[in-house]
């Protein structure tokens, strides 16, 4: 079993506020990542990262202490990070700045409908995505922020959409749920997915 030490963004994962430089992000995240490196954690997983500079800073902080790191980007309904950069460009930029530092990438806190259309390419960055932790809802981050009730979506439909992503992402072998998901979604994902 892999033990992941999970960390989040400095600010709200849905909006880009108080944007840091790469150097500031590295300094900000280094203490927590250094502490994780002294535990039984096998890696650090950064969730809901919404701009490239923070992702690069997290990766460099992990590299400085020798801890493998996963970068989990979130995207809006157009498949771009909240900062406006397309998912593929963000992955490529982090890899270029860190000598392909992350162990792999994840998309989290987004429904598959929000980014599946960006995967119709043979670009190398697709090979770097190994994990998706999807939202149950097809609503945008802004709509979810305004919602007064949890939107659990359709567990069966979500599971089928995640299974379809496996045909587009050849390295995808970690699937799970994020906002609005529960045991029903996880059970449906287990029934629909083929993990390798």
CA distance 25 to 19: 9
In the prediction, which pLDDT does 144 show?
87
In the chain, pLDDT over 90 holds for what percent of residues?
84
**Which CATH number goes with the domain that contains 152?**
3.20.20.330
Is a pLDDT exceeding 70 seen at residue 195? no
**pLDDT (average), residues 87-97:** 98
**pLDDT (average), residues 78-102:** 97
Whole domain around residue 147: which residue ranges?
4-192
The closest alpha carbon to 72, from 108, 109, 25, belongs to 108
Q: Which residue has the higher pLDDT, 12 or 77?
A: 77
Distances (CA, A) of 191 to 11, 103, 187: 35, 27, 6
What digits encode the pLDDT tens for the residues 111-131? 999 999 999 889 999 999 999
Q: Is 148 exposed, middle or buried (0-12, 13-18, 19+ CB in 10 A)?
A: exposed
Q: Which residue has the higher pLDDT, 5 or 194?
A: 5
**pLDDT, mean over the chain:** 94
**pLDDT (average), residues 45-64:** 98
Tally of structural domains, the chain: 1
Residue whose pair of structure tokens reads 């909006």 in the numeric block: 15
Is a pLDDT exceeding 80 seen at residue 196? no
In the prediction, which pLDDT does 14 show?
81
What digits encode the pLDDT tens for the residues 146-185? 888 888 999 999 999 999 999 999 999 999 999 999 999 9
**pLDDT (average), residues 26-39:** 97
Structural tokens at position 108? 């989290």
């Amino acid at each position: 079993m892999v033990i992941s030490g999970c960390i989040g963004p400095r600010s709200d994962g849905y909006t880009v506020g108080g944007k840091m430089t790469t150097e500031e992000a590295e300094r900000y995240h280094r203490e927590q990542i250094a502490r994780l490196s002294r535990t039984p954690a096998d890696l650090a997983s950064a969730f809901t990262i919404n701009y490239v500079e923070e992702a690069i800073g997290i990766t460099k902080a992990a590299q400085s202490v020798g801890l493998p790191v996963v970068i989990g980007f979130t995207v809006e309904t157009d498949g771009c990070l909240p900062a406006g950069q397309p998912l593929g460009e963000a992955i490529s930029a982090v890899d270029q700045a860190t000598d392909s530092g992350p162990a792999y990438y994840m998309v989290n806190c987004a429904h598959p409908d929000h980014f599946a259309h960006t995967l119709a390419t043979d670009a190398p960055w697709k090979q770097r995505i190994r994990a998706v932790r999807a939202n149950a809802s097809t609503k945008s981050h802004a709509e979810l922020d305004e919602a007064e009730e949890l939107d659990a979506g359709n567990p069966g439909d979500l599971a089928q959409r995640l299974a379809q992503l496996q045909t587009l992402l050849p390295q995808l072998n970690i699937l799970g749920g994020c906002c609005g998901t529960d045991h029903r979604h996880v059970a449906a994902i287990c029934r629909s997915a083929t993990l390798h």
